[in-house]
Amino acid sequence: MLICSTVKDLREALSSKALSPVGFVPTMGALHAGHISLVEKSVGENPVTVVSIFVNPAQFNDRNDLENYPRMTESDIKLLSGVLRTDDIVFIPPEKEIYPGNEPEVIFDFKTLDKVMEGAFRPGHFNGVVKVVSRLFDIVMPDVAYFGQKDLQQVTIIRELVRQQNRKTRIISCPVVREPDGLAMSSRNLLLDPEIRQHAGIIFKTLSAASELICSTDISEIKEFVREQINKTPGFSLEYFEIADDLELKPVTMKTEMVPGRRYFGCIAVRAGGIRLIDNTEFNCSVIKG
Ligand code: PAF
């Protein structure tokens, strides 16, 4: 695999290989099995894969979160070298390659998509995500890009970005990869205090139990159940839990609002010690009762 740090080197490497389709896995590093599953999928489906590692300051609404975000480029490269082939590329740009300083400030309009859930709790976050994804797409020009379903709202918004900008890139969403206790893999798990980590399986355990209630129980009661389960776990507090579809991301308050044929997901954000974790799982009931 080739490691590039400038846009020029990356473009030259891709042009000289002239391989297509180009698969792309954008990451912020601190790679784990979830990222590797995306890379493996891209490698299996495309003759060339580009993996980017760039901790994007524009998407952090909290300075501490940006400063504490784990950075481990050496071990990331080692991990990638076990999956990537000779023609594949790891792109690790310095900030000035991504944001040279002369780019116009673009404000994206995603209507309600970025106003709920993560968007409501992390103002400006999605504007920063699409800013970097749009820039990375301009640089890599991928045919296919792979994202984790753990960030369900991010995937929906990136699909909308591709639609609005009339891009050719196909967006593939890949299943959440979990630790043995159900905790969704995340770079942030590395920051968890050991005592908190020991109990973090409660997040997926609660989501799974709540998903089983969807056919028989009112949404307000399901929400109450989730709140109780999380908040009674020492060191954990619920930020939000919503049931929303993956197209409009519209949280529902009653089952009669659920549109038949759509896929619904229980989406959760939890403060675990000082660390913020998100997760989601599908909530479906073929017979929707009021
Ligand atoms: O999901 C992430 O890791 C980031 O939001 C992404 C898509 C790499 C953009 O910085």
Residue 230, CA distances (Å) to 141, 210, 241, 250 in order: 42, 12, 10, 23
- Whether the per-residue pLDDT at 242 is higher than 70: the answer is yes
Residue 187 Cα: closest atom of ligand 1: 3
At 288, is the pLDDT very low, low, confident or very high (cuts 50, 70, 90)?
Answer: very low
Ligand 1 centre distance from Cα of residue 225 (Å): 31
Residues in the chain: 290
Alpha-helical (H) ranges within 141-201 are 152-164, 194-199
Which residue's CA is minimally distant from atom 9 of ligand 1?
Answer: 129
Contact, 128 vs 98, CB < 8 A?
no
Tokens of 235: 């060191």
- Provide the angle, in degrees to the nearest 10, between the axes of the packed helices 7-17 and 125-140: 50
5 CA to centre of own chain? 23
Residue 287's pLDDT is 46
Residue 148 Cα: closest atom of ligand 1: 1
Question: What are 87-101's pLDDT values in tens digits?
Answer: 999 999 999 999 999
At 286, is the pLDDT very low, low, confident or very high (cuts 50, 70, 90)?
Answer: low
As for ligand 1, residues whose beta carbon falls within 6 Å of it are 26-28, 56, 59, 129, 132-133, 151, 154
Please list, in sequence order, all residues whose beta carbon lies within 8 angstroms of the beta carbon of residue 6, skipping any fewer than 6 positions away. Answer: 93, 97
d(CA 47, CA 31): 22
Indicate the pTM of the whole model. Answer: 0.96
Cα torsion 39, 242, 126, 95: sign: negative
Residue 133 Cα: closest atom of ligand 1: 9
d(CA 149, CA 172): 9
The residue to mutate among 38, 42, 132, having the most atoms of ligand 1 within 8 angstroms of its beta carbon, is 132
d(CA 272, CA 236): 5
Mean pLDDT, range 167-185, rounded to an integer = 98
- Whether the per-residue pLDDT at 260 is higher than 50: the answer is yes
Ligand 1 centre distance from Cα of residue 98 (Å): 14
Residues annotated as catalytic (active site), given as ranges: 35
Contact, 211 vs 266, CB < 8 A?
yes
- Of all residues in the chain, the percent with pLDDT exceeding 70 is 98
Torsion, Cα 192 193 198 203, to 10 degrees, reads -40
Lookup result for tokens 């995603």: 110
Tokens of 38: 């995306």
Residue 65's pLDDT is 94
Contact, 59 vs 125, CB < 8 A?
yes
The residue to mutate among 35, 50, 56, having the most atoms of ligand 1 within 8 angstroms of its beta carbon, is 56
Give the H or E element holding residue 249.
none
At 105, is the pLDDT very low, low, confident or very high (cuts 50, 70, 90)?
Answer: confident
Domains (range + CATH), the chain: 2-174 (3.40.50.620), 187-282 (3.30.1300.10)
DSSP 8-state assignment for residue 150? G
The residue to mutate among 54, 65, 133, 176, having the most atoms of ligand 1 within 8 angstroms of its beta carbon, is 133
Q: Average pLDDT, whole number, for the chain?
A: 96
d(CA 21, CA 94): 26
Which of 77, 4, 88 has the alpha carbon at shortest distance from 44?
A: 88
**End-to-end C-alpha distance for the chain, whole angstroms:** 55
Lookup result for tokens 């082939």: 85
Alpha-helical (H) ranges within 52-182 are 63-68, 73-81, 95-98, 118-121, 125-140, 152-164
Which of 65, 70, 57, 68 has the alpha carbon at shortest distance from 129?
A: 57
Residue 52 Cα: closest atom of ligand 1: 8
